[in-house]
Homo-oligomer: A and B are copies of this chain.
Amino acid sequence: MPSSPDEHHTMPTDDQESIVEANQRFYDAHEARDAEAMFAIWAHDDQVHCTHPGWATLLGDSDVQASWRSILDGPGRNQFILTNVVARVDGDAGWVSCDENIVAPGGTTTVAALNVFAKTADGWLLTAHHGSPVFSQHPKDV
């Protein structure tokens, strides 16, 4: 169906749709515990950033992918339900902000996430993932 001329101006751009789709593939790979699909989402160089909730930041492909291999090989079995998904694109890079509502055997939790992508010959690849626990009360001013 051709796009309508009265299409609303706040419709997402193709690039915004593409990074939202890439973002979803990241969580699908995690939920499926599929390391190959996870690695296909990421850029592979020394300038990648990954902060798992509560962890110190990991930098560089080697440490980041090792962490994912350990996590995906581990006992966790989680469902990720994303809310508040917002995408921003500035040229050849962009980010997706979302809340990861995680349903696990032991209960549920929410992680606030920021995922940054770069546009490459292989599509939009993840250069940074940062997830953080959301406390029920705001911590002291830091």
A: residues with CB less than 8 A from B are 47, 49, 51-57, 59, 71, 74-76, 78, 84, 86-88, 90-95, 97, 99, 102, 104, 106, 109-112, 114, 116, 118-119, 127-128, 130-135, 138-142
Task: Tell me, in angstroms, the Cα distance from A55 to B135 when the chains sit together.
Answer: 6
Known: A51-B114, A132-B133, A138-B52. A59 touches B86 (CB 8 A): yes
When distances are taken between beta carbons in the complex, the residues of chain B under 8 Å from A78 are 142
Given the known A-B contacts A78-B142, A116-B114, A132-B53, are A91 and B88 also in contact in the complex, defined by CB atoms under 8 Å?
no
Task: Please state if B57 and A111 are interface contacts (CB–CB under 8 Å).
Answer: no
Q: CA A84 – CA B49 in complex, angstroms? A: 11
